[in-house]
Structure 1
Amino acid sequence: MTIDEIIGFVSALDGVHTLRPGPGDGSPEISWGDTFFYYSPDGVVPKATQPFATIVTKNYPGDEESRLDRPDAFRVNIAAGKEAFIRWTGHSPREPSADHDPSATDTVIAHPVYGSAGWLAVVNPAQRTDEPTRELLRTAYDLARSRYERRAAATRD
């Protein structure tokens, strides 16, 4: 999967707001070139809400183990929920596991920094992880949509 294929897939889901920071938009320079996906049917980045998935194209401070400084390397980060996390890693997000290489490509792993929050990650998804990445992105989207709808219902009550 390419970055553009992932962006096209996720952006086509109903109510997704895709944020692609770049020069001149007021975003921090470190975020330029990365992509953030929010469930936001009104097209506005929600306040106090994390994206349900991201694509990062470089190492962030404290997150160098994925070695995204390699040519053409990127990582898809997915908040697919506890059930998906356990299914893919074999353990709870709260139980750290060091049995994976964060720089391994085409492999679903616990996110090297946000795994304890239940995030999964795939560096350079390819043939082995194409469909699982799509499935996990759909799951993360469904969870984000459900959270949004619950919050909207709570504010109406």
Structure 2
Amino acid sequence: MKTKLLTLFLIFIYSNIFGQCDIKTVNRPDGNTIKYFNPKPIIIQEQFEVGTAIYKNVTTGKMMINLTILFKSLPNKPLNGELIIQTTNKIGITLKLIKSEEVEMNGKKVAIGLYEIDNKSIVELKKYPLKSIYFSIDNKKYGQSISKNNNIYINELNCF
């Protein structure tokens, strides 16, 4: 009986820890292998929706944040400038934009940005839930408090 309970407990723990690690892999033509998660929504409001996920370039070892903006009433434009993240800790994070483009997804225009995460920020994002995110479009800041999935970076970074 104890063995069955222990086995069930271990299965429960394993599925809760590793069940959320739905990592995708792509081998790009440039020789880089990227491991990533599909973006999940973190902000839903009248002007835009924001989804985010962690990307890891396995070839270079760099970690990145993907930010995907679905435009509702905002004009469709690419992201520019830095990404500002506030966690529930007192330390703010500022990340440099390394790539930005506009794409069409499901018949709608979205802006996608990749921001490189430094080691100090990885430590912060692994420990503390998100509080707010701010990004730039046409050199104007947008963002707000996180309304969904505030533990997304904790969960995804722990999968790597």
Report the TM-score range of the alignment, normalised by the length of the smaller protein. Answer: 0.3 to 0.5
**Structure exhibiting the larger radius of gyration computed from Cα positions:** 2
The structure in which a higher percent of residues are strand is: 2
| TM-score, normalised relative to structure 1 | 0.34
The structure richer in helix per residue is 1
